[in-house]
Amino acid sequence: MSLLSTKHLLGIKDISSQDIDLIFKTADNFKQVINRPIKKVPTLRDVTIANVFFENSTRTKISFELAEKRLSADVVNFSSSSSSVKKGETLIDTVNNILAMKVDMVVMRHPAPGAHQFLARHIDANIVNAGDGTHEHPTQALLDAYSLREKLTNLKDKKIAIVGDILHSRVALSNIYCLQKLGAKVRVCGPPTLLPKHIESLGIEASYNLKETLEWCDAANMLRIQLERQEDKYFPSLREYSLQYGVTMDVLNKLSKKIILMHPGPINRGVEITSEVADSNQSIILNQVENGVAIRMAILYLLAGSSSEE
């Protein structure tokens, strides 16, 4: 079996384009599996996986749990809001207690950027980053790129825009790394206050002009305004933001070509995109969600294989 170059999936920055190709090829096989009447394979029958979530999640948590169950792994779920973290237990103590119960892999979401790198220095189990604060969300970027590749055949020289709250977004950074490794041209677009200073130093373009950016791109990934991470006011009002940076059918119909619309979820309907756009045939939002299960099955399978070869 071919292996990933890494024991953990901490971020897209740390993996190679060969790793991404291998994840995509493996996901192609698992996508066939989950579309069969019997959606389950015995591949991870002796593996126990803990989903450790210190932040809220709908899609990522359910998608990982389904991926694990489709692979026949044993699954335990931990949510910090109903745990002894509330009594002051540290991250390492929490995870070590879970591992003492013979857990092989940890899928973790944590609000602190770098929490997974810290944990990887202290525990032996494979770690998968399900989102670390404003830093990275690698499985989201992989499922986004995989979904785009299905529509555009390959991403070499394709123009992909990432629009919205780039400053607070882990999806943006992981997407930038992933799309660049696959040869795409990337542009971020949003109000000046929501684009990090010097973002062009990552080798991408930055624009404040939505309509010109949509005309430039083959696909636009529309990000949510993350009010929960914003201590200051970055724009006058959501209405003002929506007027300048929201995508409506009217905006799309004025473009010279049909572009693909993506969104990692959760959507604020009527803010970054209207319901009409989210539910239109240009949107691949539900394809992204479907592909998330196959991508996560591939990652868990490949990481489990890396451990057994050690």
Q: Given the rule CB under 6 A, which residues bind ligand CP?
A: 57-60, 131, 140, 264-266
Which residues 6+ apart lie within 8 Å of 294 measured at CB?
27, 28, 30, 31, 33, 34, 67, 146
Residue owning tokens 């240009």: 282
Identity of the residue, 131 or 246, whose beta carbon is nearer to ligand CP in the bound complex: 131
Question: What values do phi and psi take at 47, rounded to 5?
Answer: -105, 135
Identity of the residue, 35 or 58, whose beta carbon is nearer to ligand CP in the bound complex: 58
Shortest distance, CB of residue 255 to ligand CP, whole angstroms? 26
Tell me which residue of 238, 221, 273 sits closest to 252, measured CA to CA.
Answer: 273
Residue pair 161/195 in contact by the 8 Å Cβ criterion: no
Identity of the residue, 7 or 229, whose beta carbon is nearer to ligand CP in the bound complex: 229
Identity of the residue, 141 or 195, whose beta carbon is nearer to ligand CP in the bound complex: 141
Shortest distance, CB of residue 94 to ligand CP, whole angstroms? 20
Shortest distance, CB of residue 13 to ligand CP, whole angstroms? 18
Residue pair 48/74 in contact by the 8 Å Cβ criterion: yes
Q: Where are the beta strands (DSSP E) in the chain?
A: 48-53, 74-79, 105-110, 126-132, 159-163, 185-189, 205-207, 219-222, 260-262
Identity of the residue, 131 or 138, whose beta carbon is nearer to ligand CP in the bound complex: 131
Tell me which residue of 60, 128, 54 sits closest to 91, measured CA to CA.
Answer: 54
Residue pair 171/143 in contact by the 8 Å Cβ criterion: no
Q: What is the distance of C-alpha 234 from the center of its chain?
A: 24
Identity of the residue, 131 or 164, whose beta carbon is nearer to ligand CP in the bound complex: 131
Q: Where are the beta strands (DSSP E) in 15-94?
A: 48-53, 74-79
| Radius of gyration for the alpha carbons in the chain, expressed in angstroms and rounded | 19
Identity of the residue, 58 or 84, whose beta carbon is nearer to ligand CP in the bound complex: 58
Residue pair 98/75 in contact by the 8 Å Cβ criterion: no
Shortest distance, CB of residue 7 to ligand CP, whole angstroms? 23
Identity of the residue, 164 or 264, whose beta carbon is nearer to ligand CP in the bound complex: 264
Shortest distance, CB of residue 292 to ligand CP, whole angstroms? 8
Distance CA 30, CA 28 (A): 6
Shortest distance, CB of residue 95 to ligand CP, whole angstroms? 20
